[in-house]
Each structure stands twice: as structure tokens, then as C-alpha cells.
Structure 1
Amino acid sequence: MTSLRYGWTTGACATAATKAAYTALLTGEFPDPVEITLPRGRRPAFALAVEELADGAATAGIVKDAGDDPDVTHGALVRSTVRLGAPGTGVRFLAGPGVGTVTRPGLPLEVGEPAINPVPRRMMREVLGDADAIVEISVDGGAELARRTWNPRLGILGGLSILGTTGVVVPYSCSAWIDSIRRGVDVARAAGRTHVAGATGSTSERVVAELHGLPEDALLDMGDFAGAVLKYLRRHPVPRLTIAGGVGKLAKLAAGHLDLHSGRSQVDFALLAGLVGEPETAARVRASNTALEALRVCTEAGLPLGDLIAARARDVALEVLRGAPVEVDVVVIDRAGTIVGRAGGASPG
């Protein structure tokens, strides 16, 4: 099997572009390729796509290569423009076109700051040494790309975040998604939310938001990553969590799976049959092809499979939370968005 190719984060690209621009500002020549050292010691070299030197400023641009990861920013042009600052002012970061600005508390950056995360900032400071410099990072088309990320919900407006803790994009690690879940919890806590919801998809999110009257910053982009939500809430609790999803996804959670993706977990029909108990119906559930078919079989037999799945999924969630002060309820829906099962808190609000 061919191994998947690693890529580089926007933070690594911004750092390399900053090093190239600063070198050109001092020497008049752009290093191409430009090499940087990543936090864990790797030393990748980046080819420059943009070289501009004029009026006391130097700009270098690098096309992000995310390797074999389906990253929304793959192929984006990350630019750094460097100017010398006043003596003693250190390094100041600016958000250029396509880079967002923080507008809500709870993120690892102050409100009003460019959405350039702490590790990329540290990496750029390291390549600048003791320089007093103004560094403006921009991403061509970044404002449009950001609409396909969770930045707007997190209160990062106007563009993308410059991300990365290692500088390396691991294919299909979904690290950006999991990071957005964690930042979503942080933003909800900073806003004083006492009730958050994690949904497996847009339909279940709409249902649970309407059911409990939850604002946007209380909605976590859980998707398939139930484990990421639960493990982060274990360390950073919110008083109440609602988990909402389709019957198939939550049947997987009921079986103990914390990654609900179809490629990494499957519905356990023997488990569902065991929940039902009644022999004839249980046999039909065991022979079902989908969780929705099993639900239909049980509905016809007058058995509450949706409630049973919700209760079992809630038990699994509580086990992962390990006694953290988080009340949990579960809402199961069908494809039409109809609630077909609930456990742990039947009243809205």
C-alpha cells in the first residue's frame, strides 16, 4: 500500500514566507527555496511563488501543500509582508486580506487580534530573531475559504486562521476539525453558556437548536467525533450537554464507538437486537440492513428502539466523562428530522 503524503500547515507556510521576506528586506535577495525548522525538528524547504521588494517592505508567498489530506486550504497562497518596526517594539502581527480577526473571547488570542495562533507566532518570532518588525499575513481567497470552516461560528471573522502546532499536516488526522471542537467548547464557556450541543449533522443540529433554544455559540461541530467532544468536556466541563444525531450514528455510540465515521465504525445489529429483547422482533432487527430498517421494524412492533439507543448512548457518554460535572441527554432523529428517541432529560430548555 502506498503511504499517504504529509503536508504543511498554514503556520509553517507563513513562517517560511516570513523568513524569506525578512531576508530579502535585509539583503535584497529572496532565498528560494527557504528552509525553516519546525517545532519537532523537521527542516522542510519551501519554494516561493511570490517575491516582491519595494518601498521598505518585502513580500514572499508560498502555495500551501497539504499533502494527501483533504484540507480546505490546500493550494492556497499564503503571503507574508515584512516591514521594519520602530526600535524596541518587537514583532507585531497584522491580519492581511483573507486572514480573520478574533471577535469573541475563549480562543487562545485576545479579542481584536489577528487569527494567527500562538505556535505560528512563536515560529515567526524565531525566524525574525531580535528584529523589530511588522508582519502582515494574508491568504489569497481566504475570506471565501473561511466560509467552509468553523471560523464564523467561533467568532473569527473576515478570513482564515493561521494554524498548526507541529507545522505538519497528517493526512486524514482531522486535527483541524477536532481543534475546532475544542475551540467551540472554549468559546461557549467564555460566553457563559451552561448548555451545549454536539450534533452529528446539520439536520440534527437544527432539531436540537430549536428544541432547546440554543444560540449558535452553544452548538459544537461534533460530526463523527463524539469522543473528541466528550474527552474535552471531561477536562473543561459545561453543566449540560445534549448529543443529537441520526439513529445509525447514535447506534454506533451506543455500541461504544467514539468515532462515528462509516469507514471506522459500523452498526452492531446484534447489540440492537439485545436492546429490544422480544425474540421475534429481535431476530428481525438482527437481520436488518440499516439502523433505520431496524427502527422501522421496532416501531411496527410498538417497541421504543430509539429510546433504547438514546439511553445506551447516554451511558457510554457518561462513562467517557468519568464523573465530570456534565449532565447528558441524547436526542435521536430519523432522516426527516423527526425525534424518534430521547434519554436523560425529556423537557426542552
Structure 2
Amino acid sequence: MKKQLKSGYTTGTCAAAATTAALELLISNRKREIIEIKSLNGIDLKVPIHSLKLGKEWARGVVLKNSGDDPDVTNGIEICVKVKLYKELPQIEKAHYFDNIAIVGGRGVGLVTKKGLQVPAGKSAINPGPQKMIRDAVQEIIKGTDKKVLVKVYIPQGKAKALKTFNPRLGITGGISVLGSTGIVKPMSEEAWKDSLYVELKVLKENTARDWVIFAFGNHGKAFCESMGVDTTQMVVVSNYIGFMIDSAMEIGFKRVLLIGHIGKAIKIAGGIFNTHSRVADGRLEILSANAVLVDEPRENILKILESNTVEEACQYVEKNELFRLIANKVASKSVEYSRGEIEFQSALFTFSGNLIGESDDFKKLAGDLVEK
């Protein structure tokens, strides 16, 4: 019998828990060993506090990153948060501001230097999910008061650990990113993860008797579908393993698949790449550029696409929107080819801002047929 792999906490969850512990110490002189916090997908978590320190008008909380059974380079490192109260918040160029709260990265937290990421260039690499968790934690403590709080996240080992990530290539300098779209790290042992995906797909088929399924690449895809009113009970989040999941869908007996994904992942399928992990294959900008030639995108735009930091940024240089329809059609047709014609595929593409930018020709028709049934 296979061991069930343990989940862990994202750096964002660690930062939010450390913030809560430090702020309660500063305001109420209350020392907490365990912080109860709600993840972004609504799960109640209990996060141990490694250490606390109260200074003059400031407090610090430290949480040890716990990645569970995920092979994460950040596992076990200190995620530190220093909080301080102000009458007026200081203006810090790289900070993120939200009314009475400012969140900034210190030592070991990266600085974003290129466009196309979820955080604007010039700001601390603390993603929107962790920002929300930290804000929610602070607001819960200071609600009903006029207090203003500066939250400084720092990671002593962050600069060294960043060298083992893709951050330098993405234009994140000086440290790691504070990440988390749900707050929970799921174990990513490849075979174990594939096994769990196969079981999820099989259970879905056996319990609904439907011959169709929605594939999303990750939590952003799931959130996009929810925002569009799509019934996600018939959805499986496939991670990077789209080829494996197509094979599994064929074996289990699915006949129709809606592929809904961020352009940065989906475009790899348009180039015939069916394991979308960056370590396996990339070529995203090259695939986008090659297809831009086919729709007569101006040469200067194609050069900008090739020089972009991310696909998200590259999309800003596209003038001819038919390019995204072409990409969506190729995502669908390449998937049909991969299934050797046994499954019908239609696809839709979106950006991090939540904009639907491209659909394959019969996406709405197939989606409508499935919704009606």
C-alpha cells in the first residue's frame, strides 16, 4: 500500500501566520505557539510558531517553512515577519499599500525587475495570494481601530535558495518569491501525483457516468472557471501532466474534453509539448512568435514578443487578436492528435488578469452542449 504524501504550507501561509503572531504580541502582549489561519481555498490550518521577539515598538514572528512531502528547496527555512505600528505609513518604493497596511519584502525576498509577472516591476516579490492572507490577518486584529501597520517579510536564506529556482531568469533578483495560490503545498512526487490524478479522473467518471470532463492546469484555471460560472464539479486540475491525463481520459472512457488554461501553459500544447513543466520543455515565446508570423503580426511586435520576460508580457504586444484564436485551435487540434482522434477537444485561454483572450472555433458550442446536459 502506497504511503499517503503529506501536504505542507506555502511561503505565503507561513508569512501570514508569522504576521498574526507578531502583531498579537505587539498589540496585546499575547504569545502564541500555534496560529489558526484559513487558507485561500477555505481550509483551516494550524501553523506552529518557531519563535517570537518583542522589541521597542516592533515585534517579530518566525515560522519554519514546512513543504510536507514536496521536494521544495525552501523546506525548513525561516520565514520571518517584523511588524511595526505607525500613525502614518512610511513611503517605501517597493512596498504594496492597502489603506492602513503596507507589505514589503526585506532581506531574502526578491525584487521584481521585469514585466509579465503577477507583481509589477519594482515591487517586492510577494504575490497577490499571500498579500491577501497577510491583509486579512492584520485586519482581523486591528479592526475597529485607527492603527496602521507595516509588515516586513524577510527570509534569511532566501538569496541563496533563489539560485536554485527560476527566479533569476524571470527577473526576480535578490531572493525568493512569497508564493501561494491556495496556501497549501500539495506533494509533487511525480508518480504519486499522477496516481492521484488518475484516481480523481476515474472516480469522476464512475460517479457521474458523463463522457466529458474539464481540464484546468492549476488553481488559476480553476478560479477563472469559477469566475465564469463554470461548474467545477466536473473539472480536474491536471498540473503539468496533460499528456498523461489525455492518455488516462482515453483509457477511462471520456470522449469530450474542455481545456481551459492560462496562455503561458496552454501555448506549450500548441507547440506539441504535453508535459508543460519548464524543466521538460519551454519554447513558449518561440511558439507564440511563430504563430504571430502566420497572422501577419508586425515584425517589430514579433521581436518584442521574443524579447519578453513571460508570455503574459508578450501578449501586450499582440495587435492581431486572431492570433489567440489560432493558438486555441492548435491547442485543441494537437490534443486531438495526441488522443489519436478518440477524444474531441475544445480550448479557451485566459490571462492572470482574468481576461478570456482566445477560444477554439467550437468551444462555445461544446461548452453549451455540456452545460445543457
What TM-score do the two structures reach when normalised by structure 1? 0.55
Structure 2 Cα separation of the partners of residues 36 and 322 of structure 1: 34
Q: Which residue of 2 aligns with 1:36?
A: 37
Please report how far the alpha carbon of residue 140 of structure 1 lies from its aligned counterpart in structure 2 after TM superposition: 2.4
Does 2:218 match 1:217? no
Partner of 2:126: 116
Partner Cα distance (2:280, 2:42) in 1:
43
Alignment partners' CA distance in 1, 2:277 and 2:132: 35
- Identify unmatched segments of 5+ residues in structure 2: 90-98, 194-216, 220-237, 241-260, 291-302, 313-320, 350-357, 361-373
**Map of 1:19 onto structure 2:** 20
1:114-161 CA deviation, whole Å, 9 max, x = no partner?
111112111111111144111111112111211222222222211111
Decide whether aligned partners of structure 1 residues 47 and 90 sit closer, same or farther in structure 2, where only a CA change above 3 A counts. same
Tell me the number of residue pairs that the alignment of Structure 1 and Structure 2 aligns. 238
Q: What's the counterpart of residue 143 of structure 1? A: 159
Residue deviations 1:280-321 (CA, integer Å, cap 9, x gap): xxxxxxxxxxxxxxxxxxxxxxxxxxxxxxxx9xxx9xx665
Tell me: CA distance 1:32–1:204, structure 2 relative to 1, closer, same or farther (3 Å). closer
Secondary structure in structure 1 of the residue aligned to 2:309: helix
1:155 maps to which of 160, 164, 171: 171
Aligned equivalent of 2:68: 67
- For 1:1-349, list aligned pairs within 5 A: 1=1, 2-87=3-88, 90-129=100-139, 130=143, 131-172=147-188, 185=264, 214-215=306-307, 217=309, 237=324, 255-256=338-339
Q: Which blocks of at least 5 consecutive residues in structure 1 are unaligned?
A: 190-195, 221-233, 244-250, 257-270, 272-311, 327-349
Moved more, 96-105 or 148-157: 148-157
**Who wins on radius of gyration, i.e. which is larger?**
1
Residue pair 1:205, 1:219 contacting (<8 A) in 2 also: no
Whole-Å Cα distance in 1 between the matches of residues 26 and 56 of structure 2? 10
SS in structure 1 of the partner of residue 62 of structure 2: strand
Give me the whole-angstrom Cα distance separating, in 1, the residues matched to 2:322 and 2:81: 36
What are the superposed Cα offsets for residues 248-296 of structure 1, whole Å, 9 maximum, x if unpaired?
A: xxx999644xxxxxxxxxxxxxx8xxxxxxxxxxxxxxxxxxxxxxxxx
Q: How far is the alpha carbon of 1:17 from its aligned partner?
A: 0.2
The alpha-carbon distance between structure 1 residues 160 and 237, as it changes in their structure 2 partners (threshold 3 A), is farther
Letter in 2 for 1:56: E
2: CA distance between counterparts of 1:45 and 1:113? 30
Segments ≥4 residues shifted beyond 3 Å: 173-179, 182-186, 196-206, 212-216, 234-241, 251-256, 319-326
Separation in structure 1 between the aligned mates of residue 281 and residue 126 of structure 2, nearest angstrom = 32
RMSD value over aligned CA atoms? 4.4
Cα distance, 1:43 vs. partner?
2.2
Cα distance in 2 for residues equivalent to 1:59 and 1:219 = 38
CA–CA separation in structure 1 for the residues paired with 2:114 and 2:26: 35
For 1:201 and 1:111, locate their aligned partners in 2 and report how far apart those are by CA, in whole Å.
22
CA deviation after TM superposition for structure 1 residue 30, in Å? 2.2
When residues 184 and 13 of structure 1 are mapped into structure 2, their CA distance, relative to the original with a 3 A threshold, is: farther
Measure the CA separation in 2 of the matches of 1:159 and 1:108. Answer: 16
How far apart, in 2, do the equivalents of 1:66 and 1:58 lie?
A: 25
Aligned equivalents of 1:171, 1:155: Cα separation in 2:
27
Whether the 8 Å contact between 1:106 and 1:183 is mirrored in structure 2 is: no
Is the 8 Å Cα contact of residues 184 and 217 (structure 1) preserved in structure 2?
A: no
TM-superposed deviation, 1:218? 5.9
Which residue does 1:289 correspond to in 2? none
The structure-2 alpha-carbon separation of the partners of 1:22 and 1:145, relative to structure 1 and needing over 3 Å to count, comes to same
Name the aligned partner's letter for residue 30 of structure 2: E
Other structure's SS at 2:132 match: helix
